[in-house]
């Protein structure tokens, strides 16, 4: 059964929005880790002020990309996220991971921005994982949207769902270096503006590679 997380994890083309000339800033670690992890699909870095990064051509916007984009990852300042999400809608990108933090978990203006994101999701049908998330890691499809270097993590039969991006990242780093079992897919939910634990459970329950499912939820 096809689910939105199946679409994300099996993406063949990914736009990484917010890359920088500084390899340690914004979306650059995500881009580097995705390439180092061995992702074989098309990767499109996005920054209107750059021409190239890590040997790849950089695009000013997702709207400048020729062809289909399966997944977009947004790692920019929170106030820019709603407009970027609207551009993803225009590009007909089906799914977006919002890595950026500074939304409802900060209260005030962040809560308003998260509601704006939720309104875009509701009115357009685009699907969003996050915000405030490391996204997904799947050794089988060589897709990692994490800011952490997870090259040593092994493919296996344990699926993870974690609400906290910080916890998910720390857990996966620990598994990669100190445990003997492998991972089928790991999903960080973040603030759950759209995709939630029910979506994640539905995906992992139908996933032939997942024989064990572990969840870490808050609230």
| pTM exceeds 0.85 | yes
Confidence of residue 1 (pLDDT cuts 50, 70, 90): low
Confidence (pLDDT) at 2: 80
> Residue written as tokens 């049908």?
125
Q: In the β-sheet with 42-46, what is the strand arrangement from edge to edge?
A: 42-46, 13-17, 71-74, 95-98, 127-129
Mean pLDDT value across residues 151-164: 95
Look at residue 202 and tell me whether its pLDDT is greater than 80. Answer: yes
Confidence (pLDDT) at 165: 83
Look at residue 33 and tell me whether its pLDDT is greater than 70. Answer: yes
Confidence (pLDDT) at 156: 98
Mean pLDDT of the chain: 96
* β-strands 13-17, 42-46 pairing: parallel
Cα–Cα distance between 184 and 199 in angstroms, integer?
Answer: 16
Confidence (pLDDT) at 153: 96
Give the DSSP letter string of 16-74: EET--SSTTSTTHHHHHHHHHHT--SEEEEE-TT-SEETTEE-BSSGGG--S---EEEE
Which of 205, 152, 204, 198 lies closest to 174, judged by CA?
A: 152
Confidence (pLDDT) at 26: 81
What's the chain's length in residues?
219
Look at residue 219 and tell me whether its pLDDT is greater than 90. Answer: no
Confidence (pLDDT) at 23: 86
Question: Considering all CA atoms of the chain, what is the largest pairwise distance in Å, rounded to the nearest integer?
Answer: 45
Structure tokens, 183: 């991972």
Mean pLDDT value across residues 105-125: 97
% of the chain surpassing 90 pLDDT: 93
- Bridge partners (DSSP) of residue 73 are 16, 97
Assess contact for 203 and 195: CB atoms under 8 A. Answer: no
Name the 3-class secondary structure at 87. Answer: helix
22 CB contacts (<8 Å, ≥6 apart)? 28
Structure tokens, 214: 């572990």
- The count of other CB atoms within 10 Å of the CB of residue 57 is 10
């Amino acid at each position: 059964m096809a689910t939105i997380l199946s679409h994300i994890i099996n993406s063949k083309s990914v736009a990484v929005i917010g890359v920088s000339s500084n390899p340690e800033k914004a979306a650059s670690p995500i881009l580097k880790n995705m390439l180092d992890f061995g992702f074989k699909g098309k990767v499109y870095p996005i920054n209107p002020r750059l021409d190239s990064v890590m040997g790849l051509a950089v695009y000013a916007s997702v709207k400048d990309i020729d062809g289909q984009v399966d997944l977009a990852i947004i790692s920019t300042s929170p106030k820019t996220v709603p407009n970027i999400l609207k551009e993803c809608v225009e590009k007909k990108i089906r799914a977006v991971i919002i890595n950026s933090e500074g939304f409802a978990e900060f209260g005030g203006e962040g809560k308003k921005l998260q509601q704006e994101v939720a309104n875009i999701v509701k009115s357009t049908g685009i699907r969003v994982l996050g915000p405030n998330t490391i996204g997904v890691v799947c050794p089988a499809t060589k897709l990692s949207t994490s800011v952490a270097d997870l090259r040593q993590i092994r493919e296996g039969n344990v699926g993870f769902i974690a609400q906290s991006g910080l916890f998910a990242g720390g857990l996966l780093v620990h598994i990669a270096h100190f445990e003997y079992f492998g991972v089928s897919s790991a999903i960080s939910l973040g603030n759950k503006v759209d995709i939630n634990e029910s979506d994640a459970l539905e995906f992992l329950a139908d996933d032939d590679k997942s024989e064990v499912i572990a969840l870490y939820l808050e609230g």
